[in-house]
Chains A and B, each alone.
Chain A
Amino acid sequence: MVAGGTPALHRKTALLSVGTFVLISIIKIVIALIVLLTAVAYTVWLERKVVGHIQNRWGPTRVGPFGLLQPLADGVKFIFKEDLTPPHVYKPLYIAAPMISLIFALTSIAVIPVGNWVTVGGIHTPLQITDVNMGLLIVLGITSMGVYGVALAGWSSNSKYSLLGSLRASAQMVSYEVSLGLSLIGVLIMAGSFSLRDIVDAQGGAYWHVIPRWNIFQGQIFGFFIYLTAAFAETNRIPFDLPEAETELVAGYHTEYSSMKFAMFFMAEYANMITVACLASLLFLGGWHGPLFGPAWLQAILPLFWFALRIFGFLFVYIWVRGTLPRFRYDQLMAFGWKFLLPLAIANLMITGLIVAWKS
């Protein structure tokens, strides 16, 4: 929340008194956290269900209708599990690592806008915790700090599987961060702003009333696929889940963790997936733009619905890929990242830059 105190924020909300501002911010933070944590829980449910159906199984069915209460049961189980601390760990960092992971995973939601400005009870406010004009860079900064949680978990566990897992994770995340960042610059050049809200606003409207002006239809299709691939690697998901490769490393960096500490890594991973999905829909898929119709209350809710639908679609692709693809070998992973993805990202950036310069 530190990033919230920028001058831009004060300028934009100067009309509100400090008390109202703090109150609104707290309400927004509470709502965003509840929604995010619920979404995390139900992404786990969705994953188990979808992967189950891909593999001709049912997935969870016992707890509640369609197994819908399964996340609740899982949560209760995690809380009541014994919290083992192995005797050979370096305790301060062993305890801090899952917290670092989860804190940075949850913080990045602070600058992500989910809709337009709304007026509730005479107060005009954006559907976003803080509207800063460095939004995208702040998300990148916060997610790049998240690697410490994984790295320290592996090191402080003092076990070879954990250490190997976290070494792989650090190397992989640093490598793919380069391609990830470069794939986003194409979008930034087209929008001319770092503010996530400005980037979404620039994608409104449609060509000939049919093709929406989303960045993916404006020539950033390669950028989108580079982002997609790099994001899979950043969140340590199949086919890039080398850091927690079960067949080689037991469970990778969280081998020595149990109970809620393990659950925190799990929640961090899913929260990161949701952040990545939010960024993808904001930057490439037009954010909350979509057809608006019906009465006023429906028109107010529809943008939120379109945004949620995009996130759902992105998460579904995540799970689909997990149910379909095998895992890379480590040298393949590094070669792919540096020798294929990075040159492609640079080429995409140069071509976008040339076209934008030629048009202006």
Chain B
Amino acid sequence: MLHLTIFLIFGAICVAGAVNLLVQRHPINSALSLIVVMASLAVEYLLLGAEFVAAVQVIIYAGAIMVLFVFVIMLLNAGEEERTKGSRVAMIFGIPGMLVGSGLVAWVLLEHSGTHSVAAGALPGPPKTIAWLLFHEFLLPFEVTSVLVLIAIMGAVVLAGHPDSGGPAKKEG
């Protein structure tokens, strides 16, 4: 009962944050709404007994990635976005289409996914279990992901580097 109440409260906060993200016109308000979504998702993970995932969700997403988002918005000094008049086609077909689509996804997940519901806290959550899984069963995907991240970093360095000079750009003055 307590679990259900907390789930509903934070689920509602999560959805409200997500809607607010779309409705807000100022980018910084949208970014802050996204932080609210991340934080309430972390609470939902906590309810499932996945304490490690919840903590990492807050540290990585809310604490590091979103800081960079906010940082970039502040640096660019992005102002309020202008509202377009909005196309009538989007209003007529878009909203019902979205509702039907999400209803369909929910129905498929509930009826045909083949998974049975698991009691709260029954899934493996302690960091030791996660570490064991990562370094034994999922070692190859884990390492491949790290190589992917490395490629992304190298790509960012190449893109950010000066196009003319091969080495690091010389200091001016």
Contact = CB atoms under 8 A, between A and B. Distances in A.
B55 A134 contact: yes
A163 B6 CA distance: 38
Nearest to A163: B74
A99 to B, nearest CB: 13
Contact of B51 (A132, A154, A155): A132
A33 interface: no
Interface residues of B, number: 27
B51 A174 contact: no
B11 interface: no
A8 interface: yes
Contacts of B6: 5
Interface in B98-137: 120-121, 126-127
Contacts of A174: 64, 67-68, 71
Interface stretch (A66-74, A138-146, A243-251, A319-327): A138-146
Interface in A134-176: 134, 137-138, 140-142, 144-145, 147-148, 151-152, 154-155, 163, 166-167, 170-171, 173-174
A93 B51 CA distance: 30
B37 interface: no
A116 interface: no
A7 interface: yes
Nearest to A11: B121
A3 B35 CA distance: 17
Nearest to A156: B28
B58 A144 contact: yes
B139 interface: no
Nearest to B121: A7
Contacts of A134: 51-52, 54-55
A42 interface: no
Contacts of B59: 137, 140-141, 144
Contacts of B49: 6-7
What 9 A-B pairs are tightest by C-beta distance, nearest first? A144-B63, A137-B55, A141-B58, A134-B51, A7-B121, A141-B59, A155-B74, A170-B71, A134-B55
Given A134-B55, A141-B58, 6 more contacts: A132-B51, A137-B56, A145-B62, A148-B35, A151-B71, A152-B70
Interface of A: 2-3, 5-8, 93, 132-134, 137-138, 140-142, 144-145, 147-148, 151-152, 154-155, 163, 166-167, 170-171, 173-174, 177, 194
